[in-house]
Amino acid sequence: MSQLSKPDREQLRAKYPDVFDRPAASRLATPAMIVAAFAVFIFGLVDLDFSPAKLFAGLNQLGWITLMMIPPDPGASLPAYLSALGETLSIALLGTTIAAVVALPFSLLAARNVIPSGWLRFPVRRAFDSIRGVDTLIWALVWINVVGLGPFAGVLAIALSDFGAFGKLFSEAIEAADRKQVEGIRASGGNALHEIRFGLMPQVLPVIAGQVLYFIESNTRSATIIGIVGAGGIGLQLAEQIRVLEWQKVSFLILMILVAVAAIDWISGKLRFAIIGQRAVA
Amino acid sequence: MARPFFEFGPGQNAAMTSAVSILPGAQLAVLNAAYRAAVARKRLRLALAAAAFLAALVVAALGAEVNLRTLFTYFGNFISYFDRILTLEDGTRVWSNPTEWFWGWRKWLWMLAETILISYVGTMIGAVLAFALNFFAAQNTSPAPWLRFVIRRLLEFARTVPGIVFALIFVIAFGLGPMAGVLAIAIHSTGALGKLFSEIVENADMKPVEGVRSTGASWLSCMRFAVLPQVAAGYASYALLRFEINVREASVMGFVGAGGIGQELVVAIRKFYYSDVSAILVTIIVTVFIIDIATGWLRGRLFGGDARA
């Protein structure tokens, strides 16, 4: 180690000017960004009426609420809650299935390798984006206006907002498909429908099945909340119990939701594993 | 019916190109039988799975009170609903008179700004909390297994309970207003980001940690000087993505009284102010587009193309 010559600072400085003499703009960029982000944060706290007094009063209140939640107790309405949970699972399953079935043909229209011309593809994509830009809860409110209160509005709300998501995901899966198999079908004399059925679908379907299962899982979560605006399921019960301050029932309902979501996660994880194998489970 | 590809006898050989060699009949029969059996088994499994799925669908349809016959009439209503929200009170189409359509743009833009601010502040609080917790939740950096277990369950709880449920409870605890919305978004983001952050840490290279540890550094120094430089870019990328999601979430917080433009929207929908509904929806969609594009651009700028995922 002693043979190592002492580094010549001047020489290094001349050799690597980028390291030693970074321009002020690049040195200040990161701190400036952090300061700006923090400033907006502080402005937000002030603008949104955050005050320590309010925060502590609220936390105190929250502490009491938490204490009142223990122990979770459904009272006499356990059967009603169980059927509401069943309704929620039904909403998730039906909504996702309808969305997948309807979205598949439309996603073909949005895939570059099926419809090369932008005339059709572009508006279809923007339609998917617009539908996705609106939250499921908003769609639930709209559907309630159309079909009235109840789980059917929830099914349609989930179906519509998933239609936007599936359209995008499916068309991306189709675009990622291997071109060679389609060319093989065409070379052997197949028409455009044959190309889609025998060239694209066998590659795309496992990916799509995995995505649909994942959405059924995540829609169990969405379906729990659309009840809050009146679209059926366990969210309706939850919102009602919160409004009448029955905290033991609230905590029981939340526990039910957690258990149901965990169970669905587990089942769909197994199924996805069986359909597409470990590497694509992500 | 399962028809094997190469089911032709030696007699047909003349019609084929001579390059294709044909196996002897006996050997071929065995292969064909095996192929048929394999296809039949696969089809049976597929048919069983499809039948189970259909049965589940029927049960679900009964449970959710779905009536296929009324679906079509309802669908007509849905289309006509859009027809109505795109019509002004004087019966003309909304785009023929934009000033009438967006009559309340000053108020709506203000509430929209509040919505974005709610999601920004909520994302910041959530990201900071997730940052503080994630090193304890990651397998390779957690100081103790029991601590890791506790933190992971906490994060799981925070992200499984929907944000709007937190908002409902916080509205009662903290009173009506944006504060409840911010805290609800913050808690939900903590859960979601905590998981993603800890996954980044688990993928980090542990050699720098060993290097820092070998100099006698504490756990905190190991995190600061060995792990953080590897993971900071990923953190920022995920936090931006979360901000994007939270804008959507904040737009509905107003439904339960937790601030933002949702309040205006729910009033417009419930009171059948048709053209207002479409105007607010358009404002929300355009804002979400702009924020998607802006954060996408920012992530691309900050972390290069590969950090987009």
From the list B60, B121, B168, the residue facing A239 with the nearest CB is B168
Cα separation, A231 vs A272, in Å, equals: 29
- B170-229 residue pLDDT tens: 998 888 888 899 999 999 999 999 988 888 888 888 888 888 889 988 888 888 888 888
* Confidence class for position A281, pLDDT limits 50, 70, 90: very low
> Is B206:B141 a contact under the CB 8 Å cutoff?
no
> Residue B76: enclosing H or E segment and its boundaries?
helix B68-85
B251 touches chain A (CB under 8 A): yes
- Residue corresponding to tokens 């065409």: A186
Q: Could you give the maximum distance between any two Cα atoms of chain A, in Å?
A: 86
The alpha-carbon gap from B288 to the nearest alpha carbon of chain A, in Å, equals 6
| Nearest to B120, CA basis, from A52, A34, A37, A132 | A37
The chain B residue lying nearest A240, using CA atoms, is B168
Query: Torsion angle, CA of B281/B283/B284/B288, rounded to 10 degrees?
Result: 140
The alpha carbon of residue B197 is apart from the nearest alpha carbon of chain A, in Å, by 16
pLDDT for residue B224: 86
Phi then psi for residue B87, to 5 deg, are -120, 135
Q: CA angle, B30 as apex, B24 and B31 as ends, to 5°?
A: 85
B168/A147 CB distance under 8 A: no
Residue in B117, B161, B173 nearest the CB of A65: B173
Confidence of residue B123 (pLDDT cuts 50, 70, 90): very high
What is the model's pLDDT at position A4?
A: 62
For residue B281, which residues of chain A lie inside 8 Å, CB to CB? Answer: 134, 138
Please name the residues between 187 and 246 in chain B that touch chain A, using a CB distance below 8 Å: none
B160 chain-A contacts, CB cut-off 8 A: 221, 257-258, 261-262
Cis peptide before A202 (omega within 30 of 0): no
Chain A residues whose CB is inside 8 A of the B294 CB are none
With left for phi above 0 and alpha for psi between -120 and 50, is residue A115 left, alpha or beta?
beta
Please give the structure tokens belonging to residue A115: 């419809």
pLDDT digits (tens, 9 = 90+) for A22-44: 777 777 877 888 898 888 888 88
**Least confident among A253-262, B63-72, B150-159, B286-295:** B63-72
Closest-CA residue of A relative to B158 is A258
Percentage of residues in chain A having pLDDT higher than 90: 2
Report chain A's C-alpha Rg in angstroms.
27
Residues of A in contact with B170 (CB under 8 A): 58, 62
In Å, what is the CA distance from A36 to each residue of A43, A211, B69? 11, 39, 57
Mean pLDDT confidence for A132-160? 85
The DSSP output letter for A136 is: H
**Residue B252 to chain A, least CA–CA distance (Å):** 7
DSSP state of A246: -
Say which of A50, A97, A138 has its CB closest to residue B179: A50
**B73-82 burial, b for 16+ CB within 10 Å, e for fewer?**
ebeeebeebe
**Mean pLDDT value across chain B:** 82
CA–CA dist A264, A87 (Å, integer): 14
Torsion of CA A229, A235, A236, A242, to 10 degrees: -100
B54 and B26 Cβ atoms separated by less than 8 Å: no
Average pLDDT over all residues of chain A? 83
B64/A62 CB distance under 8 A: no
Question: Is A142's CB within 8 Å of B256's CB?
Answer: no
| A44: chain B residues, CB-CB within 8 Å | 117-118, 120-121, 124
- CA nearest to A158, candidates A107, A208, A231, A210: A231
Is B249's CB within 8 Å of A254's CB?
no
